[in-house]
Chain A
Amino acid sequence: MFVAKTLWFFTQEMRRMYKYKILQISLFLALLWCALLFFIGAEGAAQFLPLFLFIDASVMSMMMMGAILFYERQENTLKPLLVTPIGVTQLILVRIVVGILIALQSVIILGLFARFVLGVELMLMWWVFVVSVIAFAHGVLGFVISLLVKDFNGLLVNIIVYMFVFGFPSIFFALGMFSPVWENILLFSPTHGAFVLIEHGISRGTSTWVIVFALTYLIGLSGFFLVRFIIPRYALIGVKE
């Protein structure tokens, strides 16, 4: 019964993502990335592909989660869900899984396109795995921010700030502006960990401990926010609005 209800809720949420055109927007973006890669050409594609995947799995995951939550606020649909037998934790987890699946849609399309159209050597299954983790972490982050700000604009501003604070150091590092020692410190930035994990899908040069650290860190950090912030506060904030 429990499983059946959760599954029903999951399929309905997926269906809603279609009705609300969130799936289509994500699909459109993936095709746009493909088009960009096509014009960049096979050579450059290997360089730009990780960047595109990274943006899709991080920024887009945060925005998708925000979209789901702000629609919910606008339509006042949290309260009726909270008076059904479905639990808050199930509600939250289903949304996060939906977010991950939307991100996977992009990585699969982009990966297949790069591999078979442009002939880029890549580890697609690895990407499916790490993008799941990255989308989970950033879905959680988008969730947290959405609970703290009052509208979608507030979320956008925070995403931009987040990207400045955490994203730019990684880009400068990639451009060789920091000495390699800094990498160990940069790993405490979730974006850097995410980027390194994705890049490994092409470069394959990342050391095992860096991979393990980045994965553990992303999962641990977002797990912490999920359990300590989102699950206890989501219903409370939603009802008091």
Chain B
Amino acid sequence: MTQDTVFEIKHLTFSYKKGQPDVVKGIDFHIKKGEIFGLLGPSGAGKSTTQKILTKLLTGYEGEVLYYGKPLDSYSNAYFEEVGVGFELPVHFQKLTALENMRFFQNLYQTQAPIEPLLERVGLLEDKDKLVGSFSKGMKMRLNFVRALLNQPKVLFLDEVTNGLDPTNARILKDMILEFKQAGGTVLLTTHLMHDVEALCDRVAFIKDGQIVETDTPRALKLKYGQRRVTVEHYVNGGTAQAHFDLDNIGKNPKFLELLNTQTIETIHTGETSLEDIFIHITGRDVRG
């Protein structure tokens, strides 16, 4: 283990109640400094539970959780000066305004990021004096994200942060997460949205029923599970026909070349397996299910 390892998790096991079955069953992974690490898996797999253990919200686990080489529980509350947590559900005082909420939490920290530029970035500056109770779900989620950044954290924990956001706002948040990483920050991202993963994650771990079944870079996973194929759609007698070709040596494939030379081509797609396909393949369940 090097200086570059922020978290080292060894044989982590957790159960919500004594005598009840474990919901996290002996998982191992590590998070390197400056990377965005994705924890993926179907609903109920144990993603949020794992994240709550790393944010010290849940204790009484078995196994080891090391933060910069030392057990997490050896750190005092000063640990929270360094981490920012974006929760999966809205967590605000509904009868305070957005700005009041942010000030409330921010002043509990020593390092303080300017609030208004953050609000402006996520498009909430105009609404800063409105009661959070009057916010839409998406507005609350954006405010959740701002809250996570209030103390200029070094490590960000994000649990389904783009949940309920329109594509534009989801993009803004993703950009901000990438900027956070570029500035040297480390991120643990929990999600089952594969688009977010493709856009953000350096490495991912697939978790299923409390166990990690695969850990790698998205690219390596695609190479491992991918079918490298090209699908060509072409015009035939007033309709569309499809043909499939192997990507390997495609330039020397006579059938492919003939098709290109003789037919009216409508579309060409490389049929790389998407992370979504891999997700379904690995976890044996539908992402949307």
User: Are the CB atoms of A85 and B78 closer together than 8 Å?
Assistant: yes
Interface string of B76-109 (1 = CB under 8 A from A): 0110110101010111111110000000110111
Question: Is B92 a contact partner of A83 (Cβ separation < 8 A)?
Answer: no
Q: Do B108 and A5 touch across chains, with their CB atoms under 8 A apart?
A: yes
For A1, give the chain B residue with the smallest CB separation: B110
B33 adjacent to chain A (CB < 8 Å): no
Q: Among the listed stretches B50-58, B210-218, B224-232, which one makes contact with chain A, having 4 or more residues with CB under 8 Å of it?
A: B50-58
Does A9 belong to the interface (CB within 8 Å)? yes
Complex Cα gap A124–B107 (Å): 37
Distance in Å from the Cβ of A87 to the closest Cβ of chain B? 6
Contact A19 B108 (CB under 8 A): no
Pair A240/B16 contact, Cβ less than 8 Å: yes
Question: Does A233 belong to the interface (CB within 8 Å)?
Answer: no
| B196 CB, nearest partner CB in chain A, Å | 22
User: Is B208's CB within 8 Å of the partner chain A?
Assistant: no
Residues in B neighbouring A35, C-beta threshold 8 A:
none
A84 near B87 with CB under 8 A, answer no
> Which B residues fall within an 8 A CB radius of A?
16, 52, 55-59, 77-78, 80-81, 83, 85, 87, 89-96, 104-105, 107-110, 147
In the complex, whether A82 has a CB less than 8 A from a CB of chain B is yes
User: What residues on B are CB-neighbors of A240 within 8 Å?
Assistant: 16, 58
Do A239 and B92 form a contact, CB below 8 Å, given A5-B107, A80-B85, A84-B105?
no
Give the interface residue-count category, chain A.
Answer: 20 to 34
Q: CB-CB contacts of A63-87 with B at 8 A, as 1s and 0s? A: 0000000000001110111111111
Residues of chain A having any CB pair with chain B under 8 Å = 1, 5, 8-9, 12, 16, 19-20, 75-77, 79-87, 235-236, 239-240
- In the assembled complex, the CB of B50 is this many whole angstroms from the nearest CB of chain A, namely 14
Q: How far is the CB of A2 from chain B (nearest CB, A)?
A: 10
The chain A residue sitting closest to B79, CB to CB, is A85
The complex places the Cα of A79 from the Cα of B94 at a distance, in Å, of 15
A84's contact among B16, B92, B95, B108, by CB below 8 Å, is which? B108
Residues of A within 8 A of B93 (CB): 16, 19, 75, 77
Contact A80/B95 with A85-B81, A85-B108 known, Cβ cut-off 8 Å: no
Q: A86 and B77: CB pair below 8 A?
A: yes
CB B95 to nearest CB in A, in angstroms, measures 5
Chain A residue with Cβ nearest B96? A19
13 contacts between A and B (CB under 8 A): A5-B107, A20-B95, A75-B91, A75-B93, A77-B91, A77-B93, A79-B57, A80-B87, A80-B91, A83-B55, A84-B108, A85-B78, A87-B77
For A86, the chain B residues whose CB sits under 8 A away are: 77, 108
Of all chain A residues, which has the CB nearest B77? A85
Q: Sorted from nearest, which 7 A-B pairs have the closest CB atoms?
A: A84-B108, A85-B77, A80-B91, A83-B85, A239-B57, A8-B107, A76-B91
Are A239's CB and B78's CB within 8 A? no
B81 close to A82 (CB less than 8 A): no
Residue of B81, B90, B93 with most partner-chain A CB within 10 A = B93
A77-B93, A83-B83 known; 10 new pairs, CB 8 Å cut-off, are A1-B110, A5-B107, A12-B104, A12-B107, A19-B93, A75-B91, A80-B91, A82-B56, A236-B59, A239-B57
Cβ of A18 to closest chain B Cβ, rounded Å: 10
Nearest B-chain residue to A82, judged by Cβ:
B57
Nearest A-chain residue to B82, judged by Cβ: A85
Given the complex of chains A and B, what is the CA–CA distance between A204 and B163 in angstroms?
63
Closest to A4 in B: B107
Q: How long is the Cα–Cα vector from A9 to B90 in the complex, in angstroms?
A: 21
Chain A residues, Cβ within 8 Å of B107: 5, 8, 12
Set of chain A residues within 8 Å of B58, measured between Cβ atoms: 239-240
Contacts of A84 in B (CB 8 A): 80, 105, 108-109
